Structure 1
Amino acid sequence: MPLAHPFDDDKLKEECGIFGVIGASDAANFVALGLHALQHRGQEAGGIVSHDADQGFNSVRRFGYVRDNFTDQNVMKTLPGLLAIGHVRYSTTGSKGQTAIRDVQPFFGEFSMGGAAIAHNGNITNADALRRELIERGSIFQSSSDSECIIHLMARSLQRNIPERMEDALRRVEGAFSIVAMTRTKLIGVRDPLGVRPLVLGKVGDGWALSSETCALDIIGASFVREIKPGEMVVITEKGVESIFPFRPAKSRFCIFEHVYFSRPDSILGGRSVYETRREIGVELARETPVDADIVCPVPDSGTPAAIGYSQESGIPYAMGIIRNQYMGRTFIEPTEQIRNMGVRLKLNVNRALIKGKRIILVDDSVVRGTTSRKIKEMVLDAGAAEVHFRIASPPTAWPCFYGVDTPQREKLLAATMSEEEMRQHLGVDSLRFISLDGLYRAVGEANGRDPDAPAYCDACFSGEYPVEPADMISKGFELKPAAE
């Protein structure tokens, strides 16, 4: 059963996190720790595949949290070996809301030259077309995941070894992919030519690790070596790391929302602390959208660094006006209707003594549907706030993402159907302002803001400019942004 909390549906959700280790005793235990650190990237399900010279490949896939499934040593004993990869999942493709165990990664395939397992972060935008072609040619799919297309393309490749077959397969794939894969003797990492999704390399003892984020390297005591470059494939064996660039070169378009929300604040992106970037977003937000108020309050936890930056730049005191309940756990997965009507009060509570009579600036990372923002506003007003001003640490989210992020259909995005003033009225707040796209670019280190002719990041969810055409969605009727818009 999916563990997504019913009151967390107003946030964009990353599809997954991936992790792999080679050359470490009981590699699967390291992978379990790494996946635990990446749990924020996917809480629906997780899986680990390991390889041992005596027992071959072994796999465990489970619904739920890493801590509930991969801390049992009876389970971990079934995953021996010096090589393992893992995956935590939040579905964006496949049977969303009714996930089957067959959709849980890593996926495994047996080829003429041996077995291979693969874990994928991202989304294949031509998966429907590839699936139809493969089925017509005799492939039998076991899951509804777009990632399985890669396994079937590898099976049909005529290349001589698994890394070369993977190269061959990925040249057919469009969209976004960061991949961690393994054979009997190799750990493989790949990023798509645009580098939309993250992947980093670490050193752990005499072995190596691949991870979606640096925070997962920290938990196993691994040292961060470098980011895998866009369009790069690394093949790691006991001899070391081989780097290959099998794809046509392209300008990097890393997902800018990783800086805003997806990545953990203690991770490093592009050589820079995610926390520091989010604090700088708050600084830019304060410069662009000043307002007279008494205190700056974050919407915890994702709005906290930006709220600190806003407070520092504006001189308005920072305060914890909203407190998050850290122990939601699994208690309210299927709440009664009475409990459901309590809404965000199960997760967030207002610090009434601090709020009463004050003009409040609430800083949040984004507004998606606006449902949670309205509930938070009502809570703050009920606690006696004199004014409520929302400041949002990202531009208006007006377009869906097709590169591995769970985004509502465009008509359900508040910014797709309303102006900023209409959104303010809809939310019922005294003011509502978003950071500009140029301001966001400055905060992530682009001093001149966004270059409209050659953006440094993928910002399609804000701009509607997709660096890879979402072919499958267009075939289903999705309309791209008109050139003149």
Structure 2
Amino acid sequence: MEKMMDRCGLFGMFDNNGFHTSHLIYYGLFSMQHRGMEAAGICVNDNQGNFSYVKDEGLVTEVFDEMKLEKLQGHAGIGHILRYDGSDARENAQPIVIRYTSGHMAVALNGGLTNIEEIRHDLELKGSVFQTMEAAEVISVLISRARNNYPTIEEAIASIMPMLKGGYAMLVMTPRKVIGVRDPQGIRPLVLGREDHSWFLSSETCAFDELNVDYVRDIQPGEIVVINAEGSHSIQGMQAQPIRACIYEYIYYSHPASVFGGQEVYKARYNMGCHLAKEAPADADAVVWVPDSGLAAAAGYADTLGIPMVDAFVKNKYYGNNLVKPEGILFDRKIHMKLSVIKSQVKDKNIVVVDDSMVRGTTAQTLVELLRHAGAKSVHLRIASATISHPCYYGASMPEEKKLIFHEQGVDAVCKMTGADSLAFLSSEGMVAACPDAAGGFCMACFNGDYPTK
């Protein structure tokens, strides 16, 4: 259904084997395109400390071609994909690249800071001028100012971490280092990988799988990891607090093949479907999944109840961000360009639709209309997560609180609005139980309003 869009994905590397750095970063970002589709960027540096970069609005395959990648020559680099619902995506594309007293530095950020405007305002009063609305630019200024007082860049980063309130993972590149940083509660993911003598950092393990890079470990909460010509080492930037990993990574954000905090994402989603079936069974002839992230939960739901799962929705693979959205009479007639229904799969059947989450509820209404128009006898909605009633401040581009369907309405009212015969959600306890292999606790603030940072 309609999603809270994660802000971005990160991929960085330090090459000690003669690999083509920009190409590997390109493929790493491409494998995580689901994390952001508004803009993409890559910055590399050579052995002389010269930085070159390309960043622009669009998908990874739209921003880069072979000619651009060939011009990005270097032994180290960081890349970023952006999901931005607001200002100009081209203007806010990352990495942010600056020159300061100690040379060049590039910064890329995944996440959100609750006090970023306070920090920005304070820096502006001290004379700083900003070209973008991105928190990464603010952080780059903080680091550059602190660097004059510390012998190493990682110590400078550690000194500014207590100022940053929120959930984040960050990559910083200098002429001789690529550095990964994770917030002290581990809200946003960051993992370390290795191939031979080269080292990698990524938002997800699925990028390592695509590139045959060996997963080494998750970056720990509050940890600063340095990869360079000598290998890798780390310092504790801030004292680690109890882990509060974003549970929405398991529900929707991450690739099904990724492993986050020791828990495989696909298995977590499958388990959520199993728990949902036990908590809210439906008397149905077939289970229908909603492309793409609803598949695993629907499989778990169907297997638990012994109901056949069928492919009923077909997603238009050419539907994308650049599609001209219908207006006026076309919108009024509800021209649905993203999904179509295979009528033979649902006609004269009692259908249960399983999806991962519900934010505004408008897409749920569309799904019910499509299935009824295709001849479904009844339509039951089952959502493999709890009701979302609070905004996220840690990097998800989502509606303001008043636009969340469950901010002021209950399940019965929403069920009536969607036109479904019944509507049920997985409990918070069910979501947690579905992730038995995860290391530590979860941030569930968008579900329960319990924010890890104040």
**TM-score over 0.5 for the pair:** yes
Tell me the equivalent position of 1:149: 138
Match of 1:133 among 105, 110, 122: 122
Residues 394, 436 of structure 1: 8 Å contact kept: yes
Which whole-Å CA distance do the structure 1 matches of 2:281 and 2:293 have between them? 21
Tell me the equivalent position of 1:413: 404
Residues 344, 376 of structure 1: 8 Å contact kept: no
> Which residues of structure 2 form unaligned runs of 5+?
none
Helix, strand or coil for the counterpart of 1:102?
coil
Instruction: Give the alignment of 1:86-165 within 5 angstroms.
Output: 86-91=79-84, 96=86, 98-99=87-88, 101-157=90-146, 158-165=149-156
Decide whether aligned partners of structure 1 residues 286 and 273 sit closer, same or farther in structure 2, where only a CA change above 3 A counts: same
The CA RMSD measured in Å over matched residues stands at 1.7
Tell me the equivalent position of 2:77: 84
Instruction: Give the alignment of 1:381-460 within 5 angstroms.
Output: 381-445=372-436, 456-460=441-445
- Are 1:464 and 2:453 an aligned pair? no
Tell me the equivalent position of 2:43: 49
Instruction: Please state how far the C-alpha of 1:111 moved relative to its aligned partner.
Output: 2.6
Decide whether aligned partners of structure 1 residues 75 and 341 sit closer, same or farther in structure 2, where only a CA change above 3 A counts: farther
Amino acid in structure 2 at the alignment position of 1:245: Q
Residues 52, 80 of structure 1: 8 Å contact kept: yes
Which whole-Å CA distance do the structure 1 matches of 2:306 and 2:335 have between them? 30
Instruction: Give the alignment of 1:27-426 within 5 angstroms.
Output: 27-54=21-48, 56-70=50-64, 72-91=65-84, 96=86, 98-99=87-88, 101-157=90-146, 158-329=149-320, 332-335=323-326, 337=328, 340-341=331-332, 343=334, 345-426=336-417
Residues 112, 167 of structure 2: 8 Å contact kept: yes
Bigger shift: residues 455-464 or 39-48: 455-464
Instruction: Please state how far the C-alpha of 1:153 moved relative to its aligned partner.
Output: 0.9
Which whole-Å CA distance do the structure 2 matches of 1:440 and 1:143 have between them? 37
Which whole-Å CA distance do the structure 2 matches of 1:427 and 1:140 have between them? 48
Residues 364, 418 of structure 2: 8 Å contact kept: yes
Helix, strand or coil for the counterpart of 1:68?
helix
Which whole-Å CA distance do the structure 2 matches of 1:171 and 1:420 have between them? 40
Which whole-Å CA distance do the structure 2 matches of 1:274 and 1:147 have between them? 28
Tell me the equivalent position of 2:14: 22
> Which residues of structure 1 form unaligned runs of 5+?
1-7, 448-454, 470-485
Amino acid in structure 2 at the alignment position of 1:45: A
Instruction: Please state how far the C-alpha of 1:54 moved relative to its aligned partner.
Output: 4.8
Decide whether aligned partners of structure 1 residues 222 and 257 sit closer, same or farther in structure 2, where only a CA change above 3 A counts: same
Bigger shift: residues 99-108 or 361-370: 99-108
Residues 399, 464 of structure 1: 8 Å contact kept: yes
The structure 1 segments of at least 4 consecutive aligned residues displaced by more than 4 Å after TM superposition are 334-344
Helix, strand or coil for the counterpart of 2:91?
helix
Residues 325, 347 of structure 1: 8 Å contact kept: yes
Instruction: Please state how far the C-alpha of 1:230 moved relative to its aligned partner.
Output: 0.9
Which whole-Å CA distance do the structure 2 matches of 1:270 and 1:156 have between them? 33
Residues 38, 89 of structure 2: 8 Å contact kept: no
Decide whether aligned partners of structure 1 residues 102 and 162 sit closer, same or farther in structure 2, where only a CA change above 3 A counts: farther
Tell me the equivalent position of 1:480: none
Q: Deviations over 1:173-217 (max 9, x none)?
A: 111110111111111001000010000111123201100001111
Helix, strand or coil for the counterpart of 2:239?
coil
Which whole-Å CA distance do the structure 1 matches of 2:375 and 2:53 have between them? 54
Q: Deviations over 1:92-122 (max 9, x none)?
A: 5xxx1x4153311101122322211111000
Instruction: Please state how far the C-alpha of 1:328 moved relative to its aligned partner.
Output: 1.9
TM-score scaled by structure 2?
Answer: 0.95
Decide whether aligned partners of structure 1 residues 13 and 466 sit closer, same or farther in structure 2, where only a CA change above 3 A counts: same
TM-score scaled by structure 1?
Answer: 0.89
Give the % identical residues.
39
Helix, strand or coil for the counterpart of 1:101?
coil
Residues 5, 397 of structure 2: 8 Å contact kept: yes
Instruction: Please state how far the C-alpha of 1:224 moved relative to its aligned partner.
Output: 0.9
Helix, strand or coil for the counterpart of 2:309?
coil
Residues 46, 86 of structure 1: 8 Å contact kept: yes
